[in-house]
Amino acid sequence: MDHLPGERLKVVSARPVADRTDLGPGLLAATKKAVYVGTGSHAVELTWVRPQGKKPMLAADWARGVRIAEGERLGA
């Protein structure tokens, strides 16, 4: 990711999604319009996030800026 290691990301809002069962806990997946993160049982779509030192933004806009790689994991 194009940000400093250890940078905090606050999830402002998210919603559960039933159709993404392919993501393990903490794994990220991004499309042009959405960002998903896996949990222990299902995935959630991140809708709004607040990167460290910045204002809240749409999660998809954040993901485009940091260029999430396949297999990227939150907290790693």
Q: What is the pLDDT of residue 49?
A: 95
Going by C-alpha positions, the residue among 38, 40, 35 that lies closest to residue 1 is 35
37-63 pLDDT, tens digit per residue, is 999 888 999 999 999 899 999 999 998
Report whether pLDDT(2) > 50.
Answer: no
Say how many Å lie between the first and final Cα of the chain, rounded.
11
8-40 pLDDT, tens digit per residue, is 889 999 999 988 888 889 899 998 899 999 998
Distance CA 62, CA 35 (A): 9
Q: What is the pLDDT of residue 71?
A: 76
Domain ranges (residues) in the chain: 9-66
**Which position has the higher pLDDT, 67 or 56?**
56
